Amino acid sequence: MAKSNKPIIWGTFAAGGTLTAFVTPVLMVLTLLAATGHLPEMLGYDKLHAFAAGWFGKLVIFVILFLSLWSQAHRLRCTFYDFGARADTLVAITVYALAGVGSIATLVYLARL
Amino acid sequence: MSRRPYVREVPRTTWFFKHPRYMRYMAREVTCIFIGIYTVILLVGLARLSEGPAQYEGFLEALRQPGSVLFHLLALAFSLYNTFTWFNVAPKALPVQVGDEHWPDSVVSGGHYVVWVGLSLFIRFWAGVL
Whole-angstrom distance, CA of residue B121 vs CA of residue A6: 35
DSSP symbol at B15: G
pLDDT at residue number A10: 85
Per residue in B52-94, pLDDT (tens digit) is 999 999 999 999 999 999 999 999 999 999 999 999 999 998 8
Q: Is B127–A42 a contact, with Cβ atoms under 8 angstroms apart?
A: yes
Q: Which residue has the higher pLDDT, A10 or B118?
A: B118
Contact A21, A77 (CB under 8 A): no
The phi and psi torsions of B16 (rounded to 5 degrees) equal -80, -5
Nearest CB among B26, B80, B86 relative to A82 is that of B26
DSSP symbol at B88: H
Query: Burial, B19: exposed, middle or buried (Cβ in 10 Å; 0-12, 13-18, 19+)?
Result: exposed
Kindly list the structural domains of chain B, giving each domain's residue range(s) and its CATH number in brackets, ordered by start. 11-90 (1.20.1300.10), 94-130 (no CATH)
Distance of CA A5 to CAs A11, A42, A76, B95, Å? 10, 39, 17, 25
Contacts of B91 (CB under 8 A, 6+ apart): B103, B105, B108, B109
Residue A3, pLDDT > 60, answer yes
SS3 A29: helix
pLDDT bin (cut points 50, 70, 90) of residue B1 is: low
Nearest CB among A39, A42, A109 relative to B60 is that of A39
Range in A43-57, B38-52, B87-101 with the lowest mean pLDDT: B87-101
- Could you tell me which of A61, A67, A64 has the C-alpha nearest to residue A13? A67
pLDDT bin (cut points 50, 70, 90) of residue B3 is: confident
CATH class given for the domain over A7-112:
mainly alpha
- Could you tell me which of B22, B24, B2 has the C-alpha nearest to residue B14? B22
Report A:55-84 residues touching B (Cβ under 8 A): 61, 64-65, 68-69, 72-73, 75-76, 78-79, 82-84
Average pLDDT, chain A: 94
Complex ipTM value: 0.94
- Could you tell me which of A47, A54, A59 has the C-alpha nearest to residue A106? A59
pLDDT bin (cut points 50, 70, 90) of residue B130 is: confident
Report A:13-42 residues touching B (Cβ under 8 A): 14, 17-18, 20-37, 39-42
pLDDT at residue number A51: 97
The phi and psi torsions of B7 (rounded to 5 degrees) equal -115, 120
Nearest CB among A26, A49, A79 relative to B120 is that of A26
Question: What is the SS3 string spanning A30-65?
Answer: HHHHHHCCCCCHHHCHHHHHHHHHCHHHHHHHHHHH
Nearest CA in chain A to B118: A22
Contacts of A103 in chain B (CB under 8 A): none
Residue A42, pLDDT > 90, answer yes
pLDDT at residue number A1: 54
pLDDT at residue number B10: 86
pLDDT at residue number A8: 82
SS3 A86: coil
Distance in Å, alpha carbon of B108 to nearest chain A alpha carbon: 14
Question: How many interchain CB pairs under 8 A, A with B?
Answer: 146
The model's pTM = 0.92
Nearest CA in chain B to A64: B39
H-run or E-run covering B101: strand B101-102
Domain ranges of chain A: 7-112
Contacts of B73 (CB under 8 A, 6+ apart): A32
Contact B75, A28 (CB under 8 A): yes
* Long-range Cβ contact pairs of A83-86 (< 8 A, separation 24 or more): A83/B13, A84/B12, A84/B13, A86/B12
- Rounded average pLDDT over A81-97: 94
